[in-house]
Amino acid sequence: MVKVYTIASGKGGTGKTTVAVNLGTMLSQLGKETFLMDADIGMANVGLILGLQDAPVTLHEILAGKGTLDEAVYEGPAGLKVVPSGLSLQGFQQADPERIRDVMGEIIKRCEFLLIDAPAGISKDGVVPLAVADEVILVVNPELSSIVDALKTKILTEVVGGQVLGTIINRVDQDKVDVITKKMEKVLGVKVLGIIPEDPNVRRASAAKTPIVIKYPSSPATQAFKRIASDLVGVAYKEEKGAVQREGFIDRFSKALFKRK
pLDDT (tens digit, 9 = 90+) per residue, 39-97? 999 999 999 999 999 999 999 999 999 999 999 999 999 999 999 999 998 899 999 99
pLDDT (tens digit per residue) in 113-129: 999 999 998 777 789 99
Interval 24-53 mean pLDDT: 96
Number of structural domains in the chain = 1
Give the whole-angstrom CA distance, residue 233 versus residue 226: 10
pLDDT for position 6 = 98
Cα angle for residues 153, 227, 240 (degrees, 5° grid): 145
pLDDT band per the 50, 70, 90 thresholds, residue 180: confident
Give the whole-angstrom CA distance, residue 113 versus residue 78: 14
| Domain CATH for 109 | 3.40.50.300
pLDDT for position 125 = 78
For residue 251, give the DSSP letter: H
Give the whole-angstrom CA distance, residue 52 versus residue 76: 9
Taking alpha carbons only, the member of 250, 243, 247 closest to residue 225 is 243
Amino acid at 151: L
Interval 217-241 mean pLDDT: 93
Residue 245 — φ and ψ, nearest 5°? -65, 150
Judge residue 18's burial from the number of C-beta atoms within 10 Å of its C-beta, 0-12 exposed, 13-18 middle, 19 or more buried: buried
What is the residue range of 125's domain? 3-260
Between 122 and 208, whose confidence is greater? 208
Give the whole-angstrom CA distance, residue 168 versus residue 15: 10
Question: Is residue 245 over pLDDT 60?
Answer: no
The dihedral through the CA atoms of 245, 248, 249, 250 has a sign that is: negative
Interval 130-138 mean pLDDT: 96
Beta bridge partner(s), residue 137: 7, 166
What is the strand order of the sheet 81-83 is part of?
74-75, 81-83, 34-38, 113-117, 3-8, 135-140, 164-172, 192-197
pLDDT for position 256 = 40
Question: Is residue 241 over pLDDT 70?
Answer: no
pLDDT for position 249 = 37
pLDDT for position 134 = 97
pLDDT for position 109 = 96
